Structure 1
């Protein structure tokens, strides 16, 4: 076994996609959008999103249309957007389906059911949203999803962010 000082599968600098490199230079929020309740709930990590000010305000996100959560969000029409807090990077990986969580993703973290969907303890904020259009257009490889903000609950916790492949 060899210990590498860099990522062993990272392509050389000249072969890397400039679009992905541009995206990596921009700080991104780390959120888990969660829908449903009880034994019928699901969620997905989303960082490609922004807040659109207005009356009402909206969250706009790029969503993987193959995510199981997307079907549940379309069906229920509501979600809780959990803005993760410092120290919750592993939870982000679990809901992105790149880290294990025996028994399912909701076994990681402390979750409670709320009006719009599951809420995780320790988040920086929780936003209750309602889906604007169940058949959104594509933007790049994702769906351009608009969700109307119906409630906001802020905590005194520093938000988690992702930039350049690292959490901070």
Structure 2
């Protein structure tokens, strides 16, 4: 394993508020991480999922080490990634813990299934990915969990839920392509006329 660790001397620390504000400029896809089996389940809303490798299929997710989901992931060695559609805002909100919902109570109001690992996967998600933990790297308040993909269930839907500047945003491939075409067509005609 090639690991480079450097101890940098930083004259002035960046405040958590400044860093949080800076990261709000980064648009993130909204996913629900699910963990556990049977009645001992929990989950959380995240924007920290990213692909790692295509061969073998694997991904990474950053999870707060104090989260109940993290303890279940460590115990069982498996987790689910449920990439939400634009109309699953209510699911995203339930899994943030707002309203005091915890554990299995967060799963109410939606349909769930299981695949190879046994973790709950959201029926109707844009994509539901069943993962086995390959490695966990603990740093500061969070852990980077590397998951080897066991199974993928993809829907035909095209509208995704994203998070940007502290707000949920719908991104619809078909609808947004039409909007871009409407905006760009007039400029193409002007440019084309100018070449004649």
TM-score (normalizing by structure 2): 0.69
Distance 2:41 2:31 in 1: 16
Instruction: Sort the Cα spacing of 1:100 and 1:112 in 2 relative to 1 into closer, same or farther, 3 A.
Output: farther
Match for residue 51 of structure 1?
51
Higher Cα Rg: structure 1 or 2?
2
Distance 2:78 2:145 in 1: 12
Instruction: Give the aligned length.
Output: 152
SS at match of 1:126: strand
SS at match of 2:151: strand
Instruction: Compare the two structures and name the one with the higher helix fraction.
Output: 2
The answer for unaligned runs of 5 or more in structure 2 is: 1-14, 170-196
Is the Cα contact below 8 Å between 1:32 and 1:43 reproduced in 2? Answer: yes
Distance 2:79 2:130 in 1: 6
**Shift >4 Å, 4+ stretches:** 100-103
SS at match of 1:42: strand
Q: Name whichever of 57-66 and 106-115 sits farther off.
A: 106-115
Is the Cα contact below 8 Å between 1:38 and 1:113 reproduced in 2? Answer: no
Distance 2:116 2:75 in 1: 15
Instruction: Sort the Cα spacing of 1:147 and 1:167 in 2 relative to 1 into closer, same or farther, 3 A.
Output: same
Correspondences of 1:106-145 after superposition (within 5 Å): 106-116=107-117, 117-134=119-136, 136-138=137-139, 141-145=141-145
